[in-house]
Chain A
Amino acid sequence: MFKSFLGGIHPNDGKRYSMDKAIETPPLPQQVVIPMSQHIGAPCTPTVKVGDHVKKGQLIGTSEAFMHADIHASISGDVVKIDMMPHSGRISCQAVIIKSDGLDEWADGLPMNRDWQTMEKQEILDAIKTAGIVGLGGATFPAHIKLAPQKPVDVLIINGAECEPYLTADYRLMLEESKRLVTGVQILQKVLGVKTCYIGIEDNKPKAVEMLQKAFQGIAGVEVAGLKTKYPQGAEKMLIKVITGREVPCGGLPMDVGAVVQNTGTTVAVADAVVRGIPIIDRITTVSGDAVKEPKNLKLRIGTTYREAIDFCGGFSDTPDKLLAGGPMMGMAQFTMDVPIMKGSSGILALTKKITEHGTESPCIRCGRCVEACPMGLIPSMLSILSERQDFVKAKEEYGLFNCVECGCCTYTCPAKRNIVQYIKHAKSVNQAIMAKERAKAAQNAKK
């Protein structure tokens, strides 16, 4: 019996392009561009100077803010430049550029060989913090903060749903790295003090379900939960609802209902960080789309450019119309191939006009398809109309604007081709500006 939630859509999953391709490691890049902001929270400041020699796994960026994740060198070599560079989530961002010395040496003392079972809880958390682990599914929430919840937690969910079309990075990871995944899950269970653990996998990946059922045989409390293939099955809130039946309250976090969700990639990274002491220096990224000659799953060093990754896949077979960082539903369109791979880069997609063409926008016809599709139970049509009318505050106060997870189901189903998610993002940013202004005003009044 596969579990599911209300709403959602069934887009063409496009996974056939890269599903059966084993993870490959391209040759070492000549140079890497490592952005100082690869996580939610305060950007890091570089701890190295131009001319410094750095080694693989060495700390190169940190911050004093609570909400941050440390950044490490992904190759050994010399720091040649620290400058503003393209970034896939914002216009540009400070980045450390390292020119490889070709030796690929580890920093002193790495990799280690620790026995996680003898380590204390705090020791493990420190190891995760030092390694700069963030949620590798794409949201890039710092893991050491998520794994030290302020409220009691009784269930751990490992997210292997990978509901974004085209992406197969987590799927390949589950097939090829199941041993490390098992270690990672056990470490997470220990850190959180949680016995129950579910691994959610969509039913379009039967091999992964089978593989993990075998791998987790004999480990108490871990259950592989098959989920119905439906987008956005892998969204944190959907996953918790489907597996535990609990609903995260408005504006709340998973820990409010006693759950912690971690992506499979993150879990493996945690295992590496705790056992071997190595930070995130590479990640598995799916390079796919109908414009890529040979779609592949690649193990890429952080800071490799999209250009290098696509070149390794044989370049383009057709004229690409859109280059996406992430999946087609939530990914951000890019205008340059010089953006670097970051911790949250789960995929690079190059799509042709045939797929990206979506017609011209017209007024809302009030058919209600978006309302049916919205997994959060919102009224996307009204949100888009209010945003269009510039009635942003009403959207927030009466239509639950900030509950939107921007999954894109509404835009996908809209027969009037409205850019609903863009309207919503715009309304959110205007509201955030208003709230920031009010906070500043309140702070000023408090001073007086």
Chain B
Amino acid sequence: MNTAIMILVVMVGVGAVFGFILAFANKKFAMEVNPLINEVEDILPKGQCGACGFAGCAKYAEAVVEDPAVAPNLCVPGKAAVAAKVAELTGKKAEATEPHYARLKCRGTKTAAAAAYNYEGISDCAAAKLIQGGPKGCKFGCIGFGNCVQVCPFGAMHMGEDGLPIVDKEKCTGCGKCASTCPQSILELVPFTAKVSVDCSSHDKGAAARKLCTQACLGCGLCMRNCSHGAIKIEKNLAVVDMKICQEQCEEATCFAKCPTKAIQGLVKAAKEEQTA
């Protein structure tokens, strides 16, 4: 019984002594932190994605409060709502930002783009690319081991059954982490308002591209001729859309309608369908 009391007294005593030391240190050696920084940090989405160009949310919060040159709208995942709040707290003016999402510029599913060989190595796109450019016949398309899915800080990507990653547009914040990870560089940040998208990255010549993938852009130029605004060009056997011209001038896109492989996709109609469904 005595021992138990002794233990209790000693432990409480030790606790009290350290408690006083800590309380004293907290007052005496306190670092002056701008409380605004903590407030800003609380607003940020905490994805630690680095899309703002700083090493994590805390660093951005510090920079945006301390440095007048740092804009309040740099947090890509936070979009306009967070930008407005940060601007309000820091007394800066938030310019409007166009929200983006990541789009896979490849439709070469397992069935569409046949594998050139049987790959038995480690499950990593970059490692597989070292072996003859990846197992698929097409050397420009998605390798399909999901490096992008692994790095997505917001859980907005998952691997589809057909071997291509699927982006959840609602969860995607457009931070671009997947795009910078992809060894093929075929994930692109596309504005939500984009009207069309060329979902192929192959620079192979038409006949070769078709042999390697049924969904490939053949560089035939039909979309280019169907675009009345001159927004589409064929560069190295691949259609490239000038997003600025396309979004500003085009009322109703028809360029994609005649694409023989459906490599160029109309996005407005798809978006409408989604809304009605």
A binds B: yes
Residues of A within 8 A of B (CB): 90-91, 332-336, 358, 361, 388, 419, 422-423, 425-426, 429-430
Could you tell me if A426 and B117 are in contact, using CB atoms closer than 8 angstroms? no
A426 close to B139 (CB less than 8 A): no
Q: Which residues on the A side are within 8 Å of B153 (C-beta)?
A: none
Complex interface residues of chain B between 63 and 100 (CB less than 8 A to chain A): none
Known: A335-B117, A361-B122, A419-B121. A426 touches B133 (CB 8 A): no
The smallest C-beta distance from B143 to any residue of chain A, in angstroms, reads 13
Q: Which residues of B contact A422 (CB under 8 A)?
A: 121-122, 127, 130-131
Nearest CB in chain B: distance from A291 CB, A? 15
Listed by A's residue number, 21 A-B pairs whose Cβ atoms lie within 8 Å are: A90-B132, A333-B117, A333-B132, A334-B132, A335-B116, A335-B117, A335-B132, A358-B120, A361-B122, A419-B120, A422-B121, A422-B122, A422-B130, A422-B131, A423-B127, A425-B127, A425-B130, A426-B126, A426-B127, A426-B130, A430-B126
Given contacts A335-B116, A426-B126, A426-B127, contact A91 B133 (CB under 8 A): yes
Measured CA separation A358–B116 after assembly (Å)? 21
Q: Is B42 on the interface with A (CB-CB < 8 A)?
A: no
What's the nearest-Cβ distance from chain A to residue B211, in Å? 13
Q: Is B39 an interface residue, CB under 8 A from the partner? A: no
> Size of chain B's interface in residues, with CB distance under 8 A?
13
Q: Which of B123-163 contact A (CB under 8 A)?
A: 124, 126-127, 130-133, 139
Query: Which 5 pairs show the lowest CB-CB distances between chains A and B?
Result: A335-B117, A426-B127, A91-B133, A335-B116, A422-B121
A330 to B129, CA, bound (A): 18
Could you tell me the distance between the alpha carbons of A430 and B130 in the complex, rounded to whole angstroms? 11
Contacts of A91 in B (CB 8 A): 132-133, 139
Given the interface contacts A91-B139, A333-B131, A335-B132, does A429 sit within 8 Å of B117 by beta carbon? Answer: no
A425 to B139, CA, bound (A): 19
Q: Which A residues touch B117, using CB under 8 A?
A: 333, 335
Q: Which residues of A contact B139 (CB under 8 A)?
A: 91
Nearest CB in chain A: distance from B165 CB, A: 18
Secondary structure class of chain A's binding surface, majority of residues = mixed
Distance between Cα atoms of A107 and B202 in the complex (Å): 41
Q: Is the interface of B mostly helix, strand, loop or mixed?
A: loop
Distance of A361 Cα from B124 Cα, bound (Å): 14
Of the candidates B120, B124, B130, the one having the most CB atoms from chain A within 10 angstroms of its own CB is: B120
CB distance from B183 to the nearest CB of A (A): 10
A427 and chain B: residue at smallest CB distance: B127
Instruction: Give 11 new A-B contacts, CB below 8 A, not counting A335-B117, A422-B121, A425-B130.
Output: A91-B132, A333-B132, A334-B132, A335-B116, A361-B122, A388-B122, A422-B122, A423-B127, A426-B124, A426-B126, A429-B130
Query: CB distance A419 to B122 under 8 Å?
Result: yes
B130: chain A residues at CB < 8 Å are 422, 425-426, 429
Cβ–Cβ < 8 Å partners of B132 in chain A: 90-91, 332-335
Q: Find the B residue at minimum CB distance from A426.
A: B127
Question: Inside 8 A of A332's CB, which chain B residues have their CB?
Answer: 131-132
A316 vs B116: C-alpha distance in the bound complex, in angstroms?
20
> How many angstroms from the CA of A141 to the CA of B126 in the assembled complex?
27
Q: B7-20 vs A: 1/0 string, CB under 8 Å?
A: 00000000000000
Q: Chain A contacts of B127 at CB under 8 A?
A: 422-423, 425-426
Interfacial chain B residues near A429, Cβ < 8 Å: 126, 130
